[in-house]
Amino acid sequence: VKRSAPYRLVRDRLVARCPSDVWREGGITFVVFQLTHSGSSEPTALAAKASAIFALRSGSRELLAARVLAMDGGVPEVTDLISHLGALSRRQGSDEASHTVGSQEDTT
Amino acid sequence: MESFTFGRYRRNQMRVDATTGGITRRQLLERAGLGSLALAGGGFAPRSELSMLAAGNADSPEAFLVTAFQQRARAMTTGNLALLDGLYDPGSSQLSSFESSRADFYHSGLGAKWHARVLDYQSTPNVVVLGLTSSDAVVRVYETIDVPWIALPRPAPVLSPEAAAWRRESPERCQPAPTGPQGELHTLVGVRHEMELIRSNGQWTIIRDGYNERDIFGASPDFTPGTWSDDGGPGPSVGAESPAAATAMHQRRRFRQMGLCAIDWFSVQSYMETWCSSRNTGYCNYCNTPYCDGDCANFVSQCWSAGNHHWDKYWFCTQNYSCNCHDTPSVAWGGSVPWINVDQQHTWAVNTTGWGSDVSNVTSLLLGDFINYDWTGCGIWDHVAIVHSLDSNGYPLISCHCYDRCAQPWSDGGAAKYRFTHVGTSYPC
């Protein structure tokens, strides 16, 4: 878990580096970390009293899911860290692309 | 909620309702949208996976469990109780003593109970949930015991003229159970264990093992009624038939045909064999839920439905019903009262539809018929099992859920009262 990109997204917001709970169901291992502070505004679900939940396939350690569950006033808010990473990288890609286009325009 | 501290951080006891951050693990996963992932992974670890884990790490609790259950089964087969030495923590003397008596009973007593010669016991443990620290493991194991046995000869049953006619009319429903090369039948016994292991001096041992083999040798001293091991929680769920597939299948079945409909008894038996020691997640599982009393009637209904018995306005499944008989509907299909309640199911089959009729003798039963059990004789029917096939003497073998059994002798350990019901090969529809 700690080598994964989704973990790096929440690393700065961990209450403790040790997981608060770990268990295995069938072939899946679940690892839960407690998060306290929201830090930057992205992702917005990283608020107080949040949990980061990682699900791994037990044998291969393949990361199946990584979610942040924030209980904001009793209303659960879920952020999918894997999708969030995908969106970030797409945005990064499009930023780079638009920068390149801009450069080309500048040269013409 | 019990909890304890190991190493650097606090760890909860492995229970389905273990809390993490104030809410249960199940709630946490459901709120995070991972409930289905837990469900998909919450079933049996495939046999190969457990073996792989065990092979890959000889020190793992999985490796110990494989060895422990195999040794236990060998002790049951051979009667050599020394094989149990070293498996149990010296402090668990009550459990250790129970295990010795149990192994002795399996070796020399079960055959008499089943009127059979038992050839062997093969145990396959499947880890359903495992909580692990460096020196302790809390684990839920679904054990499948394969019991090959040969029925001892007994006088052929004297059939009533009616029963003899049923056998002539429906030869496909009175076939003997398939046998192995020695003529042996195979009964599968599913047992849910709530276990705790401890590791000291590099060796794992069992300090607690709660399970209940009600119909065989009874409950272990660590068994706690109302827990996962009591009639089972969602442990052995496997989703071979996805809810979506089930939905399409059920939609088709909603259209009733007019006339006389036949049951596909081969499909009934096939469904029984596929799901008797596991759970089809397309349907709700009513084992050990607070407002339901088990999954036995649900399983019998599923078997009939698999044989294409059409649903009617009383006996049906719907996603509008919850899987705990109480609150919000589930993705899986919940049953109507005649679908899931032992006595109402009998009433539906016998009185409402006229499809079934009670018979006085167990030897009148054929594949797909059912038996109601009143364990205590108090007048409440506690359990239902469906007839799987007949043994070589013509006596029924039954399959059921909670406790999970496949092709077991019909008495199911013995009840104060039985009710035998024969259902027709076809039904008015």
pLDDT digits (tens, 9 = 90+) for B252-290: 444 444 567 888 898 899 899 888 888 887 788 887 665
Render pLDDT for B283-321 as a digit per residue (tens, 0 to 9).
Answer: 888 876 656 668 899 999 999 988 888 888 888 887 777
Distance CA B210, CA B194 (A): 5
Question: Mutate which of B4, B8, B9, B134 to test chain A, going by most A C-beta atoms within 10 A?
Answer: B9
pLDDT in tens, A4-59: 888 888 888 888 777 787 777 767 788 888 887 554 444 444 445 788 999 888 76
Q: How far is A106 from chain B (nearest CA, A)?
A: 47
- Interface contact flag, A27 B45, Cβ < 8 Å: yes
- CA B315 distance to own-chain centroid: 23
Mean residue pLDDT of chain B comes to 79
Is the model's pLDDT at B420 over the cut of 90?
yes
Rounded CA gap, B386 and B202, in Å?
Answer: 47
Calculate Rg over the CA atoms of chain A. Answer: 17
Among the partner residues B34, B128, B129, nearest to A67 by beta-carbon distance: B34
pLDDT at B327: 61
Is B131 close to A32, i.e. CB distance below 8 A?
Answer: no
- Least confident piece of the model among A26-35, A90-99, B386-395: A90-99
Which spans in B117-204 are helix H? Answer: 161-169
Chosen for mutation from B13, B15, B31 (greatest number of chain A CBs closer than 10 Å) is B31
pLDDT value for B311: 85
The nearest alpha carbon in chain A to B22 belongs to: A49
Closest CA to A32 of B18, B226, B250: B18
Compare CB distances from B34 to A22, A49, A53 and report the shortest one's residue.
A53
CB B365 within 8 A of CB B359: yes
Distance from CA of B244 to the nearest CA of A (A): 22
Which of B15, B16, B37 has the most A C-beta neighbours within 10 Å, making it the best mutation to test the interface with A? B37
pLDDT band at B58 (very low <50, low <70, confident <90, very high): low
pLDDT of residue B296: 92
| Predicted pLDDT of residue B422 | 96
Q: Worst-scoring range by mean pLDDT, A34-43, B132-141, B275-284, B333-342?
A: A34-43
Q: pLDDT digits over B112-129, tens only?
A: 989 999 999 999 888 877
Residues of A in contact with B129 (CB under 8 A): 23-26
Based on the number of CB atoms within 10 Å of its own CB, is B274 exposed (0-12), middle (13-18) or buried (19 or more)? middle
A19, amino acid identity: P
- CA dist., res. B115 & res. B153, Å (int): 9
pLDDT of B153 higher than 80: yes
Cβ neighbours for A6, distance < 8 A, ≥ 6 positions apart: A54, A63, A66, A81, A82, A85
Residue of B nearest to A50 (CA): B21
Q: Which two tokens stand for residue B246?
A: 């089930």
* pLDDT above 90: residue A103: no
Specify the pLDDT at position B337: 87
Q: Which DSSP letter does residue B156 get?
A: P
Which chain B residue shows the shortest CA-CA distance from A65? Answer: B34
- Nearest residue to B126 via CA among B279, B269, B242, B3: B279
Number of Cβ atoms within 10 Å of the Cβ of B360: 9
pLDDT at A26: 64
What is the least distance, in Å, from the CA of A63 to any CA of chain B? 12
Concatenate the DSSP letters of all residues of chain A into one string. -TTSHHHHHHGGGBS-SS-SEEEEETTEEEEEEEE----SSSSTT--TTEEEEEEEETTT--EEEEEEEEEETTEEEEEEHHHHHHHHHHHHHHHHHHHHHHHHHHH-
Segment among A74-88, A91-105, B137-151, B335-349 with least mean pLDDT: A91-105
* Per-residue confidence (pLDDT) for residue B134, from 0 to 100: 65
pLDDT given for residue B318 in this prediction: 79
pLDDT at B87: 94
| Token pair recorded at residue A100 | 């390149």
**What is the ipTM metric for this complex?**
0.76
**How many Cβ atoms from other residues are within 10 Å of residue A105's Cβ?**
8
Amino acid identity of B177? A
Residues on chain A touching B12 (C-beta within 8 angstroms) = 21, 23
H or E stretch including B303?
A: helix B296-306
pLDDT value for B80: 95
- Single out the residue of B261, B423, B258 nearest to residue B355, CA to CA: B423
Spatial distance between the Cα atoms of B280 and B274, rounded to a whole number of angstroms: 9
Between B141 and B385, whose confidence is greater? B385
DSSP code at position B176: B
**What is the per-residue pLDDT for B73?**
96
> At B81, is the secondary structure helix, strand, or coil?
helix
- Cβ partners under 8 Å of residue B233, min gap 6: B16, B192, B287, B288
Pair B274, B302: CB distance under 8 Å: no
Closest CA to B299 of B273, B321, B276: B276
| Closest Cα in chain B, distance from residue A60 (Å) | 11
Distance, CA of B68 to CA of B87 (rounded, Å): 6
From the list B135, B418, B19, the residue with the least C-alpha distance to B29 is B19
Q: Do B21 and A20 touch (CB under 8 A)?
A: yes
Residue ranges of the alpha helices (H) in B35-193?
35-41, 47-56, 61-78, 93-108, 110-114, 161-169
Residue B275 pLDDT: 87
For residue A69, list chain B residues with Cβ-Cβ distance below 8 A: 28, 31-32
Smallest Cβ–Cβ distance between B28 and the set A26, A59, A69 belongs to: A69
CB contacts, 8 Å: B53 with chain A:
58-59
pLDDT digits (tens, 9 = 90+) for B358-378: 999 999 999 999 999 998 888
Q: Which of B10, B29, B138 has the highest number of chain A CBs within 10 A, making it the mutation to test binding with A?
A: B29
In this prediction, what percent of chain B has a pLDDT beyond 90? 38
Residues sharing a CB contact under 8 Å with residue B380, sequence separation 6 or more, in sequence order: B343, B374
10 Å CB burial of residue B162 (0-12, 13-18, 19+) is exposed
Q: In terms of DSSP bridges, do strands B237-238 and B279-280 run parallel, antiparallel, or are they unpaired?
A: parallel
Token representation of residue B311: 């649903």
